[in-house]
Chain A
Amino acid sequence: MGALTLIVLLPLAGFLVNGLAGNRLGKSFVSVVGCGLPLLAFAVAVKSVLALLAAGTPLIETVFTWATIGQQSFEISFYLDRLSSVMVLIVTGVGSVIHIYSIGYMHEDNGYARFFAYLNLFLFFMLMLVLGRSLLVLFVGWEGVGLASYLLIGFWFEDPVNAQAGKKAFIANRIGDAGFLLGMFLLYTALGTLEMDRINAAFMSPTATASLLGLATLVGVFLFIGATGKSAQIPLYVWLPDAMAGPTPVSALIHAATMVTAGVYMTARMSGIYLHSEVASHLIAVIGAATALLAATIAITQTDIKKVLAYSTVSQLGFMFVAAGVGAYGVAVFHLYTHAFFKACLFLGAGSVIHAMSGEQDIRKMGALARKIPLTSTTFVIATAAIAGIPFLSGFFSKDEILLYALVSPLGSKALFLVMALTALMTAFYMFRLLWLVFFGSSRVEPEVAHHIHESPLSMTSVLVILAFLSIIGGYLSIPHFLAPLLPLPSAEEAAHHYHWTVVGISVALGLLGLAGAWFVYGGSGERGKRLQAQFAPMHRLLYAKYYVDELYDALLGRPLVWISDHVFLRLGDRLLLDGTLNGLAALAQRAAGRLGRVQTGSLHLYALFVLLGIVGALLWSWRHG
C-alpha cells in the first residue's frame, strides 16, 4: 500500500474500530485510537510531502479501477502536488489537534466513541476530497464530508433544533451539489476525463479549441455553485451559522478549518478553467465580496459567541473567494491556511469558554473572564489579533495580500478593494467587540455560574497554545510563493510593487482602527455600546435578525414547497391517487368475493354440475372458434 492510500485509510480504520466496538472498548482506548490514527496520518503526510519536495513531480497512486465502461475507466487514484500537500497537512495536522482537544471537551458525553468515530469518518472523506486525482473521487469526498457534517451537527440529536440544523446543512449542500454535478457532466462530455490535472492541462494547452474554452464560463459557474454550498457563500450560506448546534470541536474542525474551505480548494484546483473565464472569475469575486460584507455586518450584532465566529467564518471564506476571483489562487490558499489556525483556535477557545461557563453561550452574560481563565483568554487574544490583521501575526499577511491583489490584479478593481477594506475594518471591530464582551470589561456572569468558572484541562489548553503559536508564526511561511510553480499569481508585478506599502499601511490602520473602535464602544462599562444600539435601533434589529434571510427563504421556498407537498403530493397524489386506487381495488375484490362466495354451497352435486357446464361451455366455445 502506498503512502497516500495509507493517509486516507488510517482515519477510516479509526472510524471502523470506534464505530463498531467503541462503546465496549472504554474511553481511554477510544481516545488512543481516535487521536492516534489521525496523528499517524499526519506523520505519513509529512513524510509524503517531503518525498514530493524531493521528487519535484506530483506523486500519483492508483488504488483500484472503480469501473470500466466501454473504453473509459474510472480509477480511484490519489494525487499529491504542492496544493494538495498544503491541504493534507492542514487537514491532518489541525484535525489531529482538534481530536486531542475533543478528549477533554467531550469527556463527560455518553456518545464519546460515536463522536470520535464520526470525526475520523470526516477526516477520511476530507482526505479523499483533497487527495483525489479525479473530480469523481473529489466528489465522493465532497459528499462524504457533507454526511459527516450532518452527523456531527446533529450529534446531540435528542434536541430537534440540532437535528433540524443538520438537515438544513445537508439540504443547502445538496442544492450546491446539483450545480457541481452539472459542471462535472459538462467537463466529462467535453474532455472524456475527470482527472483534474488532465482537465487543467487541456484548458491550459495552447492547442485548446475555442469550443472548449467557450465552455469554461458555464463549467466554472456550475462548479462555483457547488462551492457556494460547501463553502457557505451567498445564496447558500444560511446553513453554516445554524451548524453551530454541533459540539464546538466540530465547529472548529469542519465548519471553520477544513470542510468549508473545500470550495476554495476546488476553485484553486480547477484554476485552469477559471483563468479562461473572466465572467466566472468576476462572479466569484463579487459573490465573495458580497458574502464577506454581509456576514461581517451580521457578525457585529450577534450575541451568541459561536454565531459571531460562524459569521466571521462566512466572511473570511468570502475573502478567500475574492482572492480566487481576482486570480490570486495562491493567496486564497494562503488565507485558507492561516484561517485554519486562528479560526480553529478561536472556536476551540470559545469551546473552552463555554466549558468554563457550564454551557452558557450568550456573550451578554459573560465579561471579565480574562483573569479566571488566563490561558484560554491569552490564546483567544492572539487569535483575535491574527484574524483582525494586527501586524506580524498570520492573518495580517494573508489578508494584506488579498487586499493588494483585489486592487492590483487585472481582474480586481478599486471598488472591490474598498469593499474588502471596509469588511476588514468590520472584522477587526466585531472580533475585538467579542473579545471585550467575553474577557474584559465588567462581569455580567450569573452568580451561580460564577462559582464554577475554571480553566479547562491540559488536553484542551495545550491545543489552544499550539494553535495560537501557529497563528503567530503561520504567516511567515509564504504559501503563495510555495504554490507559485503550480498557481502563478496574477501578472501585476509593477502595480503590486507600487501599491504594496500603501496597502500594508491601510491594512494596519484598519486593524488598529477596528481595535480602537471596539475599545471605545465596548470598553469600560460598555454603556456606549448600548447607547449606539438604541440610536440605530431599526438597523440593529435588521442585522440582529440576519437581514431576515432565513424568513425570506422560508416564505419564498420553504412554505410553497410545504404547500405543494401537502396539497399536491400528500393529499392529491398520495392519499387520493395512490391510496385511493389501492383501497378501491381492495373494496372491489371484497365485494366481488362476497357475491361469488354464495356459489360455494358445499353440495358436491352442484359442483359436479358446474364442472359439467364448464366443460360443455368450453367445448362449445372451441367448436365455435375452432
Chain B
Amino acid sequence: MDKVQMLLGLSMALFALGLTGVIIRRNLLVMLMCMELMLNGVNLSLVTFAHQLGAAAGAVLVFLVFVVATAEIAIAIPIVLLMVRRKRTLDADAYADLKG
C-alpha cells in the first residue's frame, strides 16, 4: 500500500467518522465538530491529489474550504447559542418542532 492510498484511506476514514457523528450524536456542538471532521477529510484528499498531480489548484481549493468552514462556524455557533438560551439544552431532538 503506497503513501497516496494510505492518505486517501485516512481521508475517507475521517469523512466517514464525521458523517457517523452527525447521524448518531445528539449534541449540537458535537454535530458541528463532526461536520468539521468531514470537511477536513475532504481537505486531506484534496491535498493528496494536488501533491500527486503536482497541480496547485487543489491546494488552493483547500484554503477556500477553510474560509467557508470558518464563516459557517461563525454563523452556526451563535445560532446554537441562541437556541440553547431558549431551551437550555443542546439536544438536537429537542428542536424537532422547528420543522413547522
What is the interface of chain A, defined by CB distance below 8 A to chain B? 600-605, 608-609, 612
Among candidates A600, A601, A602, A612, residue contacting B23 with C-beta atoms closer than 8 Å:
A612
Q: Which residues of B are found within 8 Å of A612, using beta-carbon distances? A: 19, 23
> What are the 4 tightest A-B residue pairs by CB atom distance, in nearest-first order?
A602-B96, A602-B99, A604-B92, A608-B22
Report which of B23, B93, B95, B97 forms a contact with A608, defined as CB distance below 8 A: B23
Question: In the complex, which residues of chain B have a beta carbon less than 8 angstroms from the beta carbon of A605?
Answer: 22-24, 26, 92-93
Per the bound structure, the CA–CA distance linking A601 and B97 in Å amounts to: 9
Which parts of B37-83 form the interface with A (CB within 8 Å)? none
Given A604-B31, A604-B92, do A609 and B23 touch, yes or no (CB 8 Å)?
Answer: yes
**Chain A residues within 8 Å of B99, by CB:** 600-602
* Closest-CB distance, A594 to chain B (whole angstroms): 16
Please give 7 more A-B residue pairs, beta carbons under 8 A apart, in addition to A605-B24, A605-B93, A608-B22.
A601-B96, A601-B99, A602-B96, A602-B97, A602-B98, A604-B93, A605-B22
A600 to B96, CA, bound (A): 10
Instruction: Report how many residues on chain B are interfacial, defined by Cβ distance under 8 Å.
Output: 13
Bound Cα distance from A601 to B93, whole angstroms:
10
Give A7 to B92 CA distance when docked, in angstroms.
83
- CA separation between A104 and B42, bound complex, in Å? 93
Q: Which residues of B contact A603 (CB under 8 A)?
A: 92-93, 96
Q: B1-40: which residues lie under 8 A (CB-CB) from chain A? A: 19, 22-24, 26, 31
Can you show 27 pairs from A to B with CB atoms below 8 A apart? A600-B99, A601-B96, A601-B99, A602-B95, A602-B96, A602-B97, A602-B98, A602-B99, A603-B92, A603-B93, A603-B96, A604-B31, A604-B92, A604-B93, A604-B95, A605-B22, A605-B23, A605-B24, A605-B26, A605-B92, A605-B93, A608-B19, A608-B22, A608-B23, A609-B23, A612-B19, A612-B23
Contacts of A609 in B (CB 8 A): 23
How far is B93's CA from A608's CA once the two chains are assembled, in angstroms? 13
User: Chain A CB within 10 Å — which of B23, B31, B98 has the most?
Assistant: B23
Contacts of B24 in A (CB 8 A): 605
A612 to B20, CA, bound (A): 10
Neighbouring A residues of B19 by C-beta, 8 Å: 608, 612
Once bound together, how far apart are the Cα atoms of A290 and B99, in whole Å?
81
- How many whole Å from A586's CB to the nearest CB in chain B? 22
**Nearest neighbor of B92 in chain A, beta-carbon distance:** A604
Chain A residues closer than 8 Å to B93, beta-carbon distance: 603-605
Chain A residue nearest to B93 (CB atoms) is: A603
B91 to chain A, nearest CB (A): 10
CA gap between A608 and B23 in the complex, in Å: 6
CB distance from B30 to the nearest CB of A (A): 12
Smallest CB–CB gap between B38 and chain A, Å? Answer: 11
